[in-house]
């Protein structure tokens, strides 16, 4: 069965510091992978997506993610965090042959301190 694990429930970083949010997936073939961001009381906004090809993908707001097949991971990174990046981040996997279903992780809440 497909699943997504985000091991970190909550992360706190200082403004200007680098950020890495972890995501591990379980799927038998090459998945489609996504990162979304959610501000309080809002819907989810797509940050970036991986379908195939280059394993390092660039997204909006200066975020990037790297797909590592050997580790079943798709970690999200940002070199320098801004206070406006404080939000909830969700990793998701879409798998071939499962209709249109996505599987979401439980999210990582990011706090940015001055």
Partner 1 sequence: DGGITQSPKYLFRKEGQNVTLSCEQNLNHDAMYWYRQDPGQGLRLIYYSQIVNDFQKGDIAEGYSVSREKKESFPLTVTSAQKNPTAFYLCASSPGWGDRNQPQHFGDGTRLSIL
Among residues 22 and 49, whose Cβ is nearest to partner 1?
49
Rule CB under 8 A: is residue 61 a binding residue for partner 1? no
Phi, psi of 70 (to 5 degrees): -65, -25
94 part of the interface to partner 1, by CB under 8 A: yes
Sign of CA dihedral 96, 5, 22, 113: positive
Give the x/- contact pattern for partner 1 in 31-50, rule: CB under 8 A: -x-x-x----xxxxxx--x-
DSSP classification of residue 98? B
Contact residues toward partner 1 (CB under 8 A) are 9, 32, 34, 36, 41-46, 49, 51, 90, 92, 94, 96, 99-102, 104-107
């Amino acid at each position: 069965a497909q699943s997504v694990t985000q091991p970190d429930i909550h992360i706190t970083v200082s403004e200007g510091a680098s950020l890495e949010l972890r995501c591990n997936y379980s799927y038998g073939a090459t998945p489609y992978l996504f990162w979304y961001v959610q501000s309080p009381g809002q819907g989810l906004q797509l940050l970036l997506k991986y379908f195939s090809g280059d394993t390092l993908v660039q997204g909006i707001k200066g975020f990037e993610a790297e797909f590592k097949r050997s580790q079943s991971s798709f970690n999200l990174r940002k070199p320098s965090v801004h206070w406006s990046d404080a939000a909830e981040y969700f990793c998701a996997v879409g798998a071939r042959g499962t209709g249109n279903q996505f599987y979401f992780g439980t999210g990582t809440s990011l706090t940015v301190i001055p």
